Structure 1
Amino acid sequence: MLLEGKTVLVTGASAGIGRAAAIGAARHGANVAINYHSDDAGAAACVAEIEALGRTGVAIKGDVADPATAQDFIARSVEALGRVDVFVNNAGICPFHAFLDMPAETVDRTFRVNLHGAYYMVQAAANQMVKQGDGGAIVAVSSISALVGGEYQTHYTPTKAGVHSLMQSAAIALGKHGIRCNSVLPGTILTDINKDDLADLDKRERMAARVPLGRLGKPDDLAGPIIFLASDLARYVTGAALLVDGGAFVNLQ
C-alpha cells in the first residue's frame, strides 16, 4: 500500500498506460481522478475498477491540448478529492506518418497534446501542490523515443524528448517546494496508440525478438515503476528517467 491515503491524478487514463497507472494507484491505497479525451465508456470502466477496490474515483473529460483543460482538471479534482499528492502526466498521441509529406496539422496536434498539454498540466498540478505546502510527486510518461529516432515518428520523438527535459527542469524549479519530478520511458507497449502499426504480425514478432526479455510491453508493466516513483520509496529521486523497455534500448549488438 505505497500510496495509502494519497490523491493521485492521471491524464489520458481511459485506456492503456494511464488506465493501468490509475488502477494500480488505487490498489496501493489512493483515491484517483482521471482525465480523458473522448472515451466515455473506457473512463467509466476505469472509475468502476477504482471503486471496486474500495477507493474513490472520478473521471473528468477534457482535451489536454487546450491550456484551460489543465486548470479545470486540477480544480475539479480538488473539489472532488480534496487535494493533489501525485500527478501522472500520461496523455499522448502518435499518428504514424512519413516525414517528407507530414501534414502541418498532424505536427501541430501532436505537439499540442504531447508537449504543450504536459507543460500546462504539470504547471497546474505543481501550483496546487505548492499551495498545499507539503510537497508532492509528479511522474511524466515520456518514451524510449526521447532517446532514439523513428522513421514515422519525426513529429512524436521531439515531444517525448521535451517531456523528459521538462521533468529535469521542473525537478530543479520545484525541489525547494518538496515536489519531486521524474519520468518513465516506455519501450514498445501494446496500447491503442500503436495497435494499427503493430497489426502486421510479422512486424510485431520482429520487434518482440529485439527485446531481451522476449516480448513487447503491456500497460501494467508501467504501473509498478510509476507507483514507485510516486511513492516515498523514491523520496530522494528527482530529475530521473527510468527506462521500462524490457532491455530494448541497450540491445544494439
Structure 2
Amino acid sequence: MRLQGKTALVTGSSGGIGRGIALRLAQEGADIVVAVHRHDDRADETAAAVQAAGRRAAVVAGDIGNVAQAFAVMDAAVRAMPGGIDILVNNAGVEVNAPFVAVTEADYDRVLDTNLKGPFFLTQRFVRQRLELGRGGKIINISSVHEELPFPHFTSYCASKGGLRMMMRNLAIELAASGITVNNIAPGAIETPINRRLMADAAKQQALLANIPLGRMGLPDDVAGVAAFLASADADYMTGATLFIDGGLLWNYAEQ
C-alpha cells in the first residue's frame, strides 16, 4: 500500500469524485478526513466505507468558501488526526448554468468562493501546518477540462478553474523548496450527480460521446487512481502539472 502511514483530507467527499478519491486513498493505506459542507448520512457512509477498508476516518463540516470556516475545517482535521494532514485534495466544487448576461453577483460569488477562494485558503492553512511540522506534503486540486476549454453559459465556472490552474502553477514553484508538491487533475465528462441531467438526455449524451475518442464517460475511479498516484511517492518529482482525465475529449471538442 503506497500511502501507509499517511493522512488525507478530501473536500466534497460525501459522493461523486470526492468519495471515489477518499475510498481509493484509503485502499492505498491512508487515513481519511471526510470534509463536507454539511454533516449528513452521505458523509457518514463515506466514513464507514473508509473504516471498512481498515483505515481511520473522521468527518468535518464547514463552508470552505468562507475563510474562517475553511481554516476551522483544517484545524478540526488536524485535531481528529494527530500527526497532521499529509495530503490535501481540493475536490469540492459547484457550477451555475446561465447566460453571461443573466449571471447574478450571488451566482458568481458562490462559484468563485467554493471553487477558488476555498481551495486558496484551505491550502494556505494546510501549508502552514506542514511548515510548522517541518515536513513536505501533497496538494491535489480537482480542476476540470474547463481550466483549458471554454464552456458557454458556465463562464464563472471556467474562470474559477482557470484561476485554480494558475494558483497551482504558482504554488508549485513557491512551495517546492519546502518539499510540497502541487498538481491538478482535470476531469472531463464523469458519471457523477453533477452530470445527472446530461446522462438522462440520450441525445445530448450521444453528442458528447461522439467527441470522446474512448467512447464513454469517465467514472470516479478513473480520477481516483490518478489521485492515488499523485499522493504517493511515485509522484515525488512531479509538481506544477495538470493531468487531463477526459478520454481524449480535448482533442477537438466543440460546444454544440
Q: Report if aligned partners of 1:13, 1:91 keep a CA contact under 8 Å in 2.
A: yes
CA distance in 2, matches of 1:2, 1:248: 30
Which residue number corresponds to residue 60 of structure 1? 60
Which residue number corresponds to residue 160 of structure 1? 161
What's the CA shift for 1:44? Answer: 0.5
Q: Deviations over 1:14-55 (max 9, x none)?
A: 111111111110000000001111361110100000000110
CA distance in 2, matches of 1:63, 1:252: 34
CA distance in 2, matches of 1:39, 1:203: 34
Which residue number corresponds to residue 217 of structure 2? 216
The two structures, once aligned, show a CA RMSD in angstroms of 1.3
What pairs with 1:33-48 in structure 2 (closer than 5 Å)? 33-38=33-38, 40-48=40-48
List runs of 5+ in structure 1 lacking aligned partners.
none
CA change 1:232–1:221 in 2 (3 A) is same
Q: Report if aligned partners of 2:211, 2:253 keep a CA contact under 8 Å in 1.
A: no
SS in 2 for 1:155: helix
The aligned amino acid for 2:49 is: E
What's the CA shift for 1:71? Answer: 1.5
What pairs with 1:107-146 in structure 2 (closer than 5 Å)? 107-146=108-147
Which residue number corresponds to residue 195 of structure 2? 194
Tell whether 2:25 aligns with 1:30: no
Which residue number corresponds to residue 81 of structure 1? 81
CA distance in 2, matches of 1:51, 1:81: 14
What's the CA shift for 1:134? Answer: 1.6
Tell whether 2:252 aligns with 1:247: no
What pairs with 1:171-210 in structure 2 (closer than 5 Å)? 171-210=172-211
Would you say how many aligned residue pairs link Structure 1 and Structure 2?
253
What's the CA shift for 1:7? Answer: 0.5
CA distance in 2, matches of 1:249, 1:155: 20
Q: Deviations over 1:117-148 (max 9, x none)?
A: 11111111111111111201100011100001
State the TM-score, normalized to the length of structure 2.
0.95
CA distance in 2, matches of 1:193, 1:95: 11
CA change 1:16–1:124 in 2 (3 A) is same
CA distance in 1, matches of 2:51, 2:253: 44
CA distance in 2, matches of 1:74, 1:101: 35
CA change 1:34–1:157 in 2 (3 A) is same
When you count helix as a share of all residues, which structure comes out higher? Answer: 2
Which residue number corresponds to residue 234 of structure 2? 233
Stretch moving more, 131-140 or 187-196: 187-196
SS in 2 for 1:196: helix
CA distance in 1, matches of 2:71, 2:253: 43
SS in 2 for 1:91: coil
Stretch moving more, 194-203 or 206-215: 194-203
SS in 2 for 1:29: coil
Stretch moving more, 26-35 or 38-47: 38-47
Q: Deviations over 1:47-83 (max 9, x none)?
A: 0000001100111111111101221111111111121
Stretch moving more, 26-35 or 71-80: 71-80
